């Protein structure tokens, strides 16, 4: 009887790879992460990307002024497609902002330690994506100088807001989400801002970081207050992941239109938001770890875990697409059936084909471990997901093209202003993100230290949290 040779290349499921590579002490972690902010000059790619993104953001500002001066007729919106690129871009950017809160809040509550290397820039991505999203409803109302009518305040004309409008619900949902996400992001950065304060090379930086670190000294009392606040904000942010995009889906679901008036929209939109949000996190994480040398913190284990979530949520989205067709057939409603058949075979069939290819077919490559651990394959797939999720919202809005009255049917064509604003929103997003990488801690220093073996010398200790019990966060020692 012969014995088979042991394949040592197979990963032992009982021993996962470490979350922090090539570091055995807290000082080296602080030095490497702070080097991103403290280096005299960032990589040349940072300057090139910032120049392109800044130009696109500037173009967006010019187009918004042109829109205000000229009117919303510069868009392709027309009867019957009164919603065009603005609402598509709004829903797309709100969805992008969901992965940050999911990574930070939900994975924190479930004590998933692999979140610590990616949560900081995922939270930042949330803030910047919501800023891009919130811009579009403000300019979509046409008369931006009366945008304050959206808020529940009385005025001299007794123009009370229409609380039965889902667009007003968006104002409250997105406003709440932005506020809580901003607080969650900022509170989590306080210990790391204190580290940068103590290491500042000039007085201006020391004053700026010192002001925003709120006098942090890493005392037991400071850590106690910090962890309580962080936990409460995480608990508050968690239901927002489910509620915000559910409310956004009501923009469509409460309308009496075939293809829109369906109860599957809230869970379908939430799954799609997490799907697209994680794809954007990957889109930013892969180049960042290469350009700034963050491979020791954003490891292949982190990327593979996110790819698995993309595979899961992509499969859920694909299931939702199939269920839409099944319900349209099962309901025996002719208008509903026509709406979905027209999506797949009508005048914009190519948009539906792009959506299915990018959102359903491409993520299936991640079933293979070899492919989901290949940087080039994962980058191509997540870029396809980003494109597919935008086209998903585009396809939904195009249900307006062919409604109940054939005499009003039309073919939607975006104008150069539509396309310019779409490109400009990406420019604004990238500009904010690149400035964040340069001047703020891109990785949570204190939280990364908390998952290292040095933070928990006792193998049976709790060691999953962070704070003085684990010997991290004392910025004076770290410096």
H-state helical runs in 346-462: 349-356, 369-372, 375-397, 416-439, 445-450
Spell out the long-range contacts of 402-405 with Cβ–Cβ below 8 A and sequence spacing 24 or more. 402/338, 402/339, 402/342, 402/346, 403/80, 403/257, 404/335
pLDDT at 479: 33
pLDDT at 8: 41
How far apart CA 209 and CA 195 sit, in angstroms, is 9
What confidence tens digit (pLDDT) does each residue in 238-271 have? 888 888 888 888 888 888 888 888 888 888 888 8
Which segments of the chain have a pLDDT < 70?
Answer: 1-15, 22-24, 152-161, 455-479
CA distances from 315 to 95, 101, 163, 354 (A): 17, 21, 35, 16
Domains of the chain, each with CATH number or no CATH: 43-142+161-478 (1.20.1630.10)
Residues 288 and 437: beta-carbon distance below 8 Å: yes
Cα 421–chain centre separation: 19
Q: 382-402: b or e for each residue (b if 16 or more CB lie within 10 Å)?
A: bbbbbbbbbbbbbbbbbbbbb
Interacting residues of 231 by C-beta distance below 8 A, sequence separation 6+: none
Beta bridge partners of 78: 81
3-state secondary structure of 81: strand
Residues 33 and 297: beta-carbon distance below 8 Å: yes
pLDDT at 107: 83
Residues 33 and 442: beta-carbon distance below 8 Å: yes
What confidence tens digit (pLDDT) does each residue in 299-318 have? 888 888 889 999 999 999 99
Residues 331 and 285: beta-carbon distance below 8 Å: no
pLDDT at 334: 87
């Amino acid at each position: 009887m012969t014995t088979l040779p042991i394949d040592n290349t197979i990963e032992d499921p009982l021993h996962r790879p470490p979350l922090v590579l090539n570091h055995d002490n807290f000082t080296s972690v602080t030095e490497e992460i702070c080097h991103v902010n403290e280096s005299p000059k960032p990589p040349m790619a940072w300057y090139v990307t910032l120049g392109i993104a800044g130009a696109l953001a500037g173009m967006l500002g010019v187009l918004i002024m042109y829109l205000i001066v000229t009117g919303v007729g510069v868009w392709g919106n027309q009867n019957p497609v009164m919603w065009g690129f603005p609402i598509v871009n709004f829903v797309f950017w709100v969805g992008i902002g969901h992965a940050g809160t999911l990574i930070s809040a939900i994975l924190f509550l479930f004590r998933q330690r692999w979140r610590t290397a990616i949560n900081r820039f995922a939270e930042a991505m949330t803030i910047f994506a919501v800023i891009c999203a919130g811009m579009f409803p403000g300019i979509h109302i046409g008369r931006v100088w009366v945008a304050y009518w959206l808020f529940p305040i009385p005025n001299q004309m007794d123009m009370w807001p229409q609380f039965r409008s889902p667009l007003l619900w968006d104002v409250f949902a997105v406003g709440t989400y932005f506020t809580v996400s901003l607080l969650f992001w900022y509170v989590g950065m306080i210990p790391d801002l204190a580290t940068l304060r103590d290491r500042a090379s000039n007085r201006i930086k020391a004053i700026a970081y010192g002001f925003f670190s709120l006098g942090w000294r890493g005392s037991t009392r400071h850590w106690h207050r910090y962890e309580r606040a962080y936990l409460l904000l995480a608990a508050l942010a968690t239901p927002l992941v489910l509620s915000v995009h559910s409310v956004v889906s009501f923009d469509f679901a409460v309308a009496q239109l075939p293809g829109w008036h369906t109860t599957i929209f809230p869970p379908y939109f939430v799954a799609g938001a997490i799907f697209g949000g994680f794809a954007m996190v990957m889109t930013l994480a892969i180049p960042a770890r290469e350009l700034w040398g963050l491979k020791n913190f954003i490891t292949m284990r982190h990327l593979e875990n996110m790819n698995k979530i993309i595979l899961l949520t992509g499969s859920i989205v694909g299931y939702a697409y199939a269920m839409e067709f099944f319900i349209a057939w099962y309901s025996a409603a002719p208008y509903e059936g026509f709406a979905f058949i027209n999506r797949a075979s009508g005048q914009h069939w190519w948009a539906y084909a792009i959506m299915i290819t990018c959102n359903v077919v491409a993520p299936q490559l991640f079933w293979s471990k070899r492919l989901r651990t290949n940087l080039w394959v994962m980058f191509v797939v997540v870029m396809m997901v980003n494109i597919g999720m935008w086209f998903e919202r585009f396809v939904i809005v195009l249900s307006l093209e062919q409604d109940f009255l054939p005499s009003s049917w039309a073919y939607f064509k975006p104008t150069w202003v539509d396309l310019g604003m779409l490109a400009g929103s990406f420019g604004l997003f990238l500009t904010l993100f690149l400035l964040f990488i340069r001047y703020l801690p891109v990785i949570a220093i204190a939280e990364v230290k908390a998952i290292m073996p040095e933070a928990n010398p006792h193998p049976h200790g709790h060691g999953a949290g962070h704070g003085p019990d684990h010997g991290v966060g004392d910025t004076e020692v770290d410096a």
